Structure 1
Amino acid sequence: MNESHRGLLAIWSTIAPEAETDYLHWLTREHVFERVSVPGFCSGRVFKRRDSKPSEYLMLYELDHAEVMSSEGYLTRLNAPTPWTQRIMPTLMHFRRGGGTLSHEAGHARGHGSHIAIARFEDDIPAALTGERLDALAQLDWVVAVRVMRVQSDSTSISTREKSMRRSEEGAFAGLIVIEALDRASLDRAVTAASRDVPELDGAFQLHDAVFGSHR
């Protein structure tokens, strides 16, 4: 199934142990709900990177379309951070943020897995990562969906008050691939298969487990 008009926003950050409880409460008691209430946001999900120390978290937001990132509703939120958000922003380390259009979705486009593998591409997405290979990955046992997103840098580079409050620079990247599965073992098998077929993916994937999710 391919709904290439949809958008995706991916955000990574690392958090020090002494700030982690406050960070998770902020995400799961305020921030994700606030974001999903913005017109054009479909869902917000939080993942923790497997075995990361200090903890690294990933937020994935599904959007009606990529232009939501430059919409009045979203920019208004980014320029009027809550007091809690103002407290959290300076604590975020190794921050990365990028969003754009889903150029390919294989499997169940509206389905989600609890375990994901995600690989960022600093340049262009590998040419060997064809639609046929993506579709084959999505057919593996216990794999829910495979998605590819190309970053729209004009939308993600807009200056906002929230951005000015973070101490770390946003790491730029060109695109990503996300594999979603039902358990860790099936995710590992899918990563092995993808890396075998596309050598550029070998060692590129980060593995994450679901922590929280909200849908509009």
Structure 2
Amino acid sequence: MSLLGKAAVAMWWSVRSEQRSEFGDWHSHEHFPERMSIPGFRRGSRWTSTTDAEGFFVLYELEQHETLSSKGYLDRLDAPTPWSTKMMPHHLGMVRSQCRVAASFGGGIACSLATIRLSPEVGRAAELQAHLLDTLGALASQPGLTGAHLLLTDTPRTSSPTTEQQIRGKDGAADWIVLLSGYDPEIIEAAIASPLSPSSLGALGAQDNPMIGRYRLGFTMTPQDVGTS
């Protein structure tokens, strides 16, 4: 898939089994339509972990980075619905990164996704980014793959804990994020083994122990699905 827009919100969290049914109902039928009604939101997608029975990854694609500090978005974050207020405490271990899209290669919606959370070594950010851009650009068009993207966390300076964050508790944040999507999870796995393995990324200037997640598509929505352009 090619990301829609120049910014994104990338989030990882867990939901225990006893809340998952209601979570899916709320997230699909209230929360996604609410978010897609905010000006500047282009697409939302929810992904279910294939290795962690409780894990989710959610991505919101935004028109501009300024959407993150827009009144429309902040008003929603500070005025959660009663159902959202009920569900937010069940978002466990939330990692939420507000990002700029540094690169996006590919197109379409895929069924499988890998996320890699990493950070550059001091003084090697430019080197690492250049290598990643070359690598991701080459991967996106390979058989079995459909998209390769690099997100760089850039939290708005005016950002402060919102009502939703206060309900959840303190959120974590990633630094750099690589997304690799495709229709063949085995090909994605091969790319994670090389050239996007921890050792390969380390040789290019990444810090030790990047965090790798594997997911399948659960649900996606655009503003057109809720009648908002």
TM-score by length of 1: 0.88
Of residues 104, 110, 115 in structure 1, which corresponds to 2:112?
Answer: 115
Provide the secondary structure at the position in 2 that maps to 1:51. Answer: coil
TM-score by length of 2: 0.84
Equivalent residues of 1:5, 1:101 under 8 A apart: no
Unaligned runs of 5+ in 1: none
Corresponding residue for residue 67 of structure 1: 66
Per-residue deviation, 1:5: 6.3
Q: Tell me whether 1:85 sits opposite 2:80 in the alignment.
A: no
Q: In structure 2, give the amino acid aligned to 1:77.
A: R
Q: Tell me whether 1:43 sits opposite 2:50 in the alignment.
A: no
Provide, for residues 163-199 of structure 1, a one-character-per-residue CA deviation record: whole Å limited to 9, x for no partner. Answer: 11113x2112222010010121222122223335833
Q: In structure 1, give the amino acid aligned to 2:42.
A: C
Corresponding residue for residue 174 of structure 1: 175
Q: Tell me whether 1:161 sits opposite 2:160 in the alignment.
A: no
Please give the alpha-carbon distance, in whole angstroms, between the structure 2 residues aligned to 1:155 and 1:84.
Answer: 29
Q: In structure 2, give the amino acid aligned to 1:119.
A: I
Unaligned runs of 5+ in 2: 224-229
Corresponding residue for residue 99 of structure 1: 98
Provide the secondary structure at the position in 1 that maps to 2:98. Answer: strand
**Alpha carbons of structure 1 residues 126 and 93: separation in structure 2 relative to 1, 3 Å:** farther
**Alpha carbons of structure 1 residues 102 and 91: separation in structure 2 relative to 1, 3 Å:** same
Please give the alpha-carbon distance, in whole angstroms, between the structure 2 residues aligned to 1:156 and 1:88.
Answer: 26
Corresponding residue for residue 34 of structure 1: 34
Q: Tell me whether 1:210 sits opposite 2:217 in the alignment.
A: yes
Q: In structure 1, give the amino acid aligned to 2:68.
A: M
* Sequence identity (%): 24
Per-residue deviation, 1:78: 0.6
**Alpha carbons of structure 1 residues 155 and 194: separation in structure 2 relative to 1, 3 Å:** farther
Provide the secondary structure at the position in 1 that maps to 2:32. Answer: helix
Q: Tell me how large the CA RMSD over aligned residues is.
A: 2.5
Corresponding residue for residue 19 of structure 2: 19
